[in-house]
Amino acid sequence: MTFSTLLRQLQREHFPDGVQAFARALDIHITRLYRAMKKGGDPFDVRGCCRIAKVTGADLFLVLRAAGKGDIADDLVVLLKAPGLRTDSPARRRLYEVCAQLDEEQIRYVTGTIEILLRPPRAPIVAPVAKKSVHRCLKRQMHKRQELSYKGTLARI
Give pLDDT, residue 143.
64
126 versus 103: the higher-pLDDT residue is: 103
Give pLDDT, residue 134.
58
At 27, is the pLDDT very low, low, confident or very high (cuts 50, 70, 90)?
very high
* CATH code of the domain occupying 3-85: 1.10.260
Nearest-CA neighbor of 26 among 59, 48, 58? 48
The residue ranges of DSSP E strands in 52-147, in sequence order, are: none
Give pLDDT, residue 82.
67
How far is it, in rounded angstroms, from Cα 27 to Cα 91? 34
Mean pLDDT across 62-72: 92
Give pLDDT, residue 31.
93
At 95, is the pLDDT very low, low, confident or very high (cuts 50, 70, 90)?
confident
Give pLDDT, residue 147.
62
At 32, is the pLDDT very low, low, confident or very high (cuts 50, 70, 90)?
very high
Give pLDDT, residue 66.
92
Give pLDDT, residue 155.
52
Give pLDDT, residue 1.
83
Nearest-CA neighbor of 66 among 1, 8, 12, 13? 1
Cα separation values, 6 from 36, 45, 82, 91, 129, Å: 10, 15, 29, 24, 60
Secondary element (H or E) of residue 22: helix 19-26
Instruction: Enumerate helices (H) and strands (E) in the chain, giving the number of each.
Output: 9, 0
Give pLDDT, residue 99.
83
